[in-house]
Amino acid sequence: MSITTQEVKEKLIEGLNLEELTPKEIDDNEPLFNEGLGLDSVDAIELIVVLDANYNVKFENMDELKEIFASITNLTKYINENRK
């Protein structure tokens, strides 16, 4: 069963303690880092831990992280294609 962008947003809010946001406030195609959602490098590490714990997803090629973490849409696609 595929996960949805809504579920990924909920896990992101919960895992990164972004309680001031709701899933509706996060655009599926908005950048997660810098200008978009405003996450930083510490958040990236926490996000990797949250995704591993919730979806058993591993990020083996660190060069791909920029593209994977470009948006909720990209992240959801990666999770659906790579979770164990």
pLDDT surpassing 90 at residue 60: no
Q: What is the pTM of this model?
A: 0.91
Q: What is the pLDDT of residue 7?
A: 96
* Pair 44, 68: CB distance under 8 Å: no
pLDDT, tens digit, 9 for 90 and up, residues 64-81:
888 999 999 999 999 999
Q: What is the pLDDT of residue 12?
A: 94
Whole-angstrom distance, CA of residue 61 vs CA of residue 25 = 30
Q: What is the CATH classification number for the domain harbouring 64?
A: 1.10.1200.10
Work out how many domains the chain is built from and give that number. 1
pLDDT, tens digit, 9 for 90 and up, residues 3-41:
999 999 999 999 999 989 999 999 999 999 988 888 998
Q: What is the pLDDT of residue 49?
A: 93
Q: Which domain holds residue 60?
A: 5-82
Measure the CA dihedral 65/21/19/44, to 10°: 10
Which runs of consecutive H residues, i.e. helices, occur in the chain? 5-15, 41-55, 65-68, 72-82
